[in-house]
Amino acid sequence: MPPSYEHRREANATVPAIQPPPVDSHALKMEPVAAVTEARGLYEKNDQQNAMTLPAETVNTEFSEDEIEKSINCLDNRLIGKGGSGNVYKGRLRNTDVAIKKLHRESMQEESDFSRKVAVLGRVRHPNLVTLIGVCREVFGLVYEFLPNGSLQDRLECRSRMAQLKWQVRTKIMREVWTALTFLHSNKPQPVVHGNLKLSKVLLDSNLACKVEAFGISQSNGIGKPTTQDDVHSFGIIVLQLLTGLPPEDVAKVVEDAMEKEELHTVLDPTAGNWPIALAKQLADVGLRCIKMSREERPDLVGDVWKELSHKNNAGILTSGQDDDGPPNYFICPITRDVMENPHFAADGHTYELEAILQWIHGDDGKSSDRSVRSPMTNLKLEHLELTPNLALGSEIREWKEKLQQKQDARIFTESLKGSAWFGAEASAD
């Protein structure tokens, strides 16, 4: 075991752990599958969405260089990231916190390269991908939504003494990264490849939902470009890192050795809490298969990997073991902030309560307005106004409500017995 692992174990021992949200095992299986299926249907309905270049109005808001510079300079500690392709700054544009990535000009082979990247980024919309809000062509700037909880790399390295993530949250993040990748890989007529997936590219919002930064995405055609199997390898590394907290250059060898010696428990990240060892072994196996040297031996994310994980879900392995009656975050409508009764997909890839999104689209008077054609989540123009029932999520919500009602009925019954003579007699007899 590398010395750095012991050092990290001691350094992180006192870091408080975030309490995880409840994890619904069946929802873990069904929600991403439904999201990919519905998203695929939306793209197939509109062939123009598959073109490499898009009409100007679909490539987000255009910002001026002056507006970009003023938004950055108005904040202290504005530099929040550095990379080979450019620097990332926190800014405030039009009363909204944003992340601004200014690309190095030398990283662009030609100006049309920037336009092609913007075209791809502008049309891949998914709840687990960071939303591109706008661009500034003068400075090769990309304006994204701002994610306040930093990246997975920040969390695992405990930067600024950030609270660590419990194993239930880490499992949820694995699912959300998988969802984002399968969405990209399911694009028609050809897959979209991320090409640069790593912990620093996986960001967390205020609810610890995963958002994959999509700057590295590219169409998977041509010789020498990244392929979907490269993304599979990157996903495997992320799975192993979330299990162990180890750096990418060490994690594969450490986990492989531990699995061979049947000592996986010795390398699991202690700050994540007590991993169920059966679950940890299954996830480690998935991670190791994803990083096999031969691309042909790596599993298919859409098929093989999810069949593996869904089998474990059916066994109840991914449940948190907590008796928490609170609804999962994805049961909540982004507009009403209440549990949904009739969830529907909109063109932005998000799910809303049907009545709420209809009112948003058509307004109180039933007529369209400027607001009606913009996403409540991204404020970007909706490509169409069709709404599709999210049947899988609706079924999960109904099942959750039934179980919650059963629990409440059981509590009421128990409380009534406590006050009865029969209950007192039984207690005395015991």
Question: Can you give the CATH number for the domain in which 100 is found?
Answer: 3.30.200.20
Statement to judge: residues 96 and 210 lie in one domain: no
- 278 and 358 housed in the same domain: no
Whichever domain contains 298, its CATH number is 1.10.510.10
Instruction: Tell whether 74 is covered by a domain.
Output: yes
Pairwise CA distance, residues 329 & 331, whole Å: 5
Residues 179 and 252 in one domain: yes
Residues 246 and 262 occupy one common structural domain:
yes
CATH number of the domain that residue 383 is part of: 3.30.40.10
For residues 163 and 300, membership in a common domain is answered with yes
Domain end point (choices 314, 348, 379)? 314
Number of domains the chain is built from? 3
Q: Give residue 30's pLDDT.
A: 45
Q: What is the reported pLDDT for 44?
A: 39
Whether residue 324 lies inside any domain: the answer is no
Q: Could you tell me the mean pLDDT of each successive run of 10 residues in the chain, 430 residues long?
A: 48 43 45 42 37 38 87 76 81 85 74 76 80 86 87 80 83 88 82 90 87 69 74 95 94 96 95 91 93 86 61 42 60 87 85 90 63 69 84 83 82 67 49
Domain stops at, among 145, 168, 190: 145
pLDDT of residue 50: 33
Same domain (yes/no): 100, 112: yes
The answer on 271 and 155 residing in a single domain is yes
141 with 163, same domain? no
Domain identity same for 203 and 284: yes
| One domain, residues 307 and 373 | no
Residues 304 and 161 in one domain: yes
Q: Final residue of a domain: which of 267, 286, 314?
A: 314
pTM metric for this prediction = 0.61
Q: What is the pLDDT of residue 244?
A: 95
pLDDT at 111: 65
Residue 323 lies in a domain: no
State whether 80 and 129 are in the same domain: yes
Is residue 45 included in any domain, yes or no? no
Question: Quick check: is 110 in a domain?
Answer: yes
Query: 423 lies in which domain range?
Result: 329-429
294 belongs to a structural domain: yes
